[in-house]
Each structure stands twice: as structure tokens, then as C-alpha cells.
């Protein structure tokens, strides 16, 4: 039996020469994978669209919720988290309690308190004019207010001016944002029918996030309410702004300071806690929507896997020809894996752009800062490549196992 060396000597071949499969470089792999996608562009686009929708959904959910929280944090930073409200509770017999008239002065003597202002409910209604039926109140409350209220609640004027020590004695009124809208008043200088007499509108407030009950209120000066509207002088709510490090300490002594004889009849709350709860609810909703985005991403990955499996079945002759020309199983696996990764990368890039665009558009309409976390973009790109590799692994292995004769048959 002749050896392989003797056979080479008789044919004139170099005994040191061995047939070694050529290696595919990164550029060659990308070129071969892209050629497979270009051969069926419509199917590739539709499969990539599934990935794009999933990535865009995930990125938009994270971006919109993050932008919402950024706006909420910006609002809290502007308004502060050191506002406390004091309201009367109930007596031991179940009757409505009353806050003492001197409670504002007593709270003002607490060291860390920076500002305090009171609001008192007035038994009166406000109408656009004196021809409106009495029952059509528009759910607008009439309250007596003190000059320091805007400082305490962190509000600003939208139009006109706030009541000062001088104008608080005259029949003037400041409307909350919702109250002005219901009365169809856009500018100060108009008169309204309040408590069976005319009051001049001196200003309109912007919405007050930490005291939204003021938005639907018509606010008159404390002395004017006592003189013209028979106000009894008892506050129904106190707004207390304290130094930030001492909020909890002030909160613990407010009830006994406001009503030393019956501190149990006083309720103290912190409006910013409601905004913090809202932020927590937004986070929970964001997690739910993120799960829906993950489902959409999974569906897109299944679409990629389906596309690659069909591609293997349709391209059996091509696989057989390449195997017959010397392509190894590893090269066939690499070819189809590269196609899957390119398909997913195409969808991922489109999804990132679409997600950022949706987040930007929605945040702009809501007047929020646009925030798309870097970790979300990196995570989306990583998830895309992982899905591409996972979805293309089985079709790539299946294609590599085809023998040349079987594939060409």
C-alpha cells in the first residue's frame, strides 16, 4: 500500500503542502451576511421591524418615565419639600373642630418656621355676573387669604398682582387657575359678582402643585372678607414653610402649637408626600409598560428566528455548493449567525432612533426635560445583539450540519 508521501512524489506535489480551509476575516463575514439580507430585502425589513418596535417600546417607556420623574424632581426642587399643611380635624363627639384665630401667630413663633399663612373658608359664591342662576356655582370656593400665602405655598401670578396689606381691605379678588377658566376670565380688571356684590379681579394665579385646592378658589383679603362677607376670622387651613432639616421636628409640634388645648383635633400633612407617591406610582406603571416592551422584543426575536430558519430551507442548494467548494461547517455557521446579528442590529438601530424620537416628541408636548438614560440605550443595543445571536444560533447549526450531497439533492 502506497503512502501519501509516495503518491505526492509520483504526482510531483510538494509533500509539505496541505489543503487548509481559508479563514474568513471580519470583513468577509460581514459581506457574506449582508449579501444574504440583500437577497430578500422585504423579508429582512419586516423581521427587523419587529426588533425595532420592541426596542423602541422599551426605550420610550424608560425615556418617558425618566423624563416625567425629572420634571417632577424639577417641580419639587422649585417648590420645595418643606411645606406642611394644618387643617382642623374632628372633636371627640364627631363634630368638626375649629382652628383658633391666633394660630398663625403661634406657629410663627416656632424657630425653624420660615413663613406661615392661613386660608379661611367663606360662606359665599362667585359668579361671572349678577344674572347667573344661584345654583350654577361652578364648584368655586371663596376663601379669605393673607398676604404671605404665595410665599408659603410657592405660587406665582399668571396675570395681575397679589393682594397686599392695602388692597386686602377692599373688595378685590384673586382667582385660581381653574376658577378663572370656569368664569371665562383671562385678564385682571374684570368685575365678578361675589357675595351679592361686585368684586374687582386683581390677578390670576398660576397652578399651585402643592396646594391644588387653591386652583379652584376665589381668594379675597382677610379684612375684606370680615367686612363684606361676614367671615368669622377662623382659619380652615394653615400653610407652614419650615427649614428643610427641621421639617419633621416642626411637624411633630405643630398640632400642640396650633391648638394646645386639643392637639388631637388638628391634622398635619405634607403635600410633597403625595407627589412622592405619584412618582412611585409612575415607576410601577413604567415597570408594567417595560414588561410589555419586553414581550414585543421577544416577538421580534421569534420573527428573526423564523426568518433565519426559512432562509436555511430556501438556500439549501447554496449551502451545498459552498460546502462542495470547501467551506467548512464553522464557516457556514458563521455566515448564518452573521446574517442574524446584522438583521437584529438593523432593527436595534432603528428601534433606538424611534424610541428616542418618541420620547423627545412626547416630552416636548408635555414641557418636560427630555431624558433618555444611557444605560437604557446600551441595554437596548445589548438586548438586540443577544436576541440576534440566540435567534440565529439554531438555524446556523442546522445549516452547518447539511452535507454537500444532501443539500444539493
For a pLDDT cut of 70, what percent of the chain falls above it? 77
- Could you tell me which of 314, 334, 326 has the C-alpha nearest to residue 389? 334
pLDDT band of 1, cuts 50, 70, 90: very low
pLDDT band of 45, cuts 50, 70, 90: confident
Cell 361686585, residue located: 198
Query: Residue ranges per domain, the chain?
Result: 25-75+277-408, 82-271
Label each residue of 84-138 as H, E or C: EEEEECECCCCCECCCCCCHHHHHHCCCCEEEEEEEEECCCCEECCCCCCCCCCC
> Which residues have a Cβ under 8 Å from the Cβ of 157 and sit 6 or more positions away?
150, 203, 204, 205, 206
Q: Model's pTM, two decimal places? A: 0.57
pLDDT band of 331, cuts 50, 70, 90: confident
* pLDDT over 50 at 3, yes or no: no
pLDDT (tens digit per residue) in 362-372: 989 988 888 88
The C-alpha cell of 368 is what? Answer: 418636560
What pLDDT shows up at residue 9? 46
Top-confidence range, 3-7, 44-48, 131-135, 191-195: 191-195
pLDDT band of 386, cuts 50, 70, 90: confident
pLDDT (tens digit per residue) in 18-37: 555 556 556 666 676 676 66
What pLDDT shows up at residue 195? 92
Distance CA 245, CA 40 (A): 65
pLDDT (tens digit per residue) in 200-258: 999 999 998 888 899 999 999 999 999 999 998 899 999 999 888 888 888 889 899 98
Cell 394660630, residue located: 103
Mean pLDDT of the chain: 80
Q: What are the distances in angstroms from CA 109 to CA 84, 119, 241, 253, 298?
A: 16, 19, 13, 12, 62
* Phi and psi, residue 121, nearest 5°: -70, 135
Amino acid at each position: 500500500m502506497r503512502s501519501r508521501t509516495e503518491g505526492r512524489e509520483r504526482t510531483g506535489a510538494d509533500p509539505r503542502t496541505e489543503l487548509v480551509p481559508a479563514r474568513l476575516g471580519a470583513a468577509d463575514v460581514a459581506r457574506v451576511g449582508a449579501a444574504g439580507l440583500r437577497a430578500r430585502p422585504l423579508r429582512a425589513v419586516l423581521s427587523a421591524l419587529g426588533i425595532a418596535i420592541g426596542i423602541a417600546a422599551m426605550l420610550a417607556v424608560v425615556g418617558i418615565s425618566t423624563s416625567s420623574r425629572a420634571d417632577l424632581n424639577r417641580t419639587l426642587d422649585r417648590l420645595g419639600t418643606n411645606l406642611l399643611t394644618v387643617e382642623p380635624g374632628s372633636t371627640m363627639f364627631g363634630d368638626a373642630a375649629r382652628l383658633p384665630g391666633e394660630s398663625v401667630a403661634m406657629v410663627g413663633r416656632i424657630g425653624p418656621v420660615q413663613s406661615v399663612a392661613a386660608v379661611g373658608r367663606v360662606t359665599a359664591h362667585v359668579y361671572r355676573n349678577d344674572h347667573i342662576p344661584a345654583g350654577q356655582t361652578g364648584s368655586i370656593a371663596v376663601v379669605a387669604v393673607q398676604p404671605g400665602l404665595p410665599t408659603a405655598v410657592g405660587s406665582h401670578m399668571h396675570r395681575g398682582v397679589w393682594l397686599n396689606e392695602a388692597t386686602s381691605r377692599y373688595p378685590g379678588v384673586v382667582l385660581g387657575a381653574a376658577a378663572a377658566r370656569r368664569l371665562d376670565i383671562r385678564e385682571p380688571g374684570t368685575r365678578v359678582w361675589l357675595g351679592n356684590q361686585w368684586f374687582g379681579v386683581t390677578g390670576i394665579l398660576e397652578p399651585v402643585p402643592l396646594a391644588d385646592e387653591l386652583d379652584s378658589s376665589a381668594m379675597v383679603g382677610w379684612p375684606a372678607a370680615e367686612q363684606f362677607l361676614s367671615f368669622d376670622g377662623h382659619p380652615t387651613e394653615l400653610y407652614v414653610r419650615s427649614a428643610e432639616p427641621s421639617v419633621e421636628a416642626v411637624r411633630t409640634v405643630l398640632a400642640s402649637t396650633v391648638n394646645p388645648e386639643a392637639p388631637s383635633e388638628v391634622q398635619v400633612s405634607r403635600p410633597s408626600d403625595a407627589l412622592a407617591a405619584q412618582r412611585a406610582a409612575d415607576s410601577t406603571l413604567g415597570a408594567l409598560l417595560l414588561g410589555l416592551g419586553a414581550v414585543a422584543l421577544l416577538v421580534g426575536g421569534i420573527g428573526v428566528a423564523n426568518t433565519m430558519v426559512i432562509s436555511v430551507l430556501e438556500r439549501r442548494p447554496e449551502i451545498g455548493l459552498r460546502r462542495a467548494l470547501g467551506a467548512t461547517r464553522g464557516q457556514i455557521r458563521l455566515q448564518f449567525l452573521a446574517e442574524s446579528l446584522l438583521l437584529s442590529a438593523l432593527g436595534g438601530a432603528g428601534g433606538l432612533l424611534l424610541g428616542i424620537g418618541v420620547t423627545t416628541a412626547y416630552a416636548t408636548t408635555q414641557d418636560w426635560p427630555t431624558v433618555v438614560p444611557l444605560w437604557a440605550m446600551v441595554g437596548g443595543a445589548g438586548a438586540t445583539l443577544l436576541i440576534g445571536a440566540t435567534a440565529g444560533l439554531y438555524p446556523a447549526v442546522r445549516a452547518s450540519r447539511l452535507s454537500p450531497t444532501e443539500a444539493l439533492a
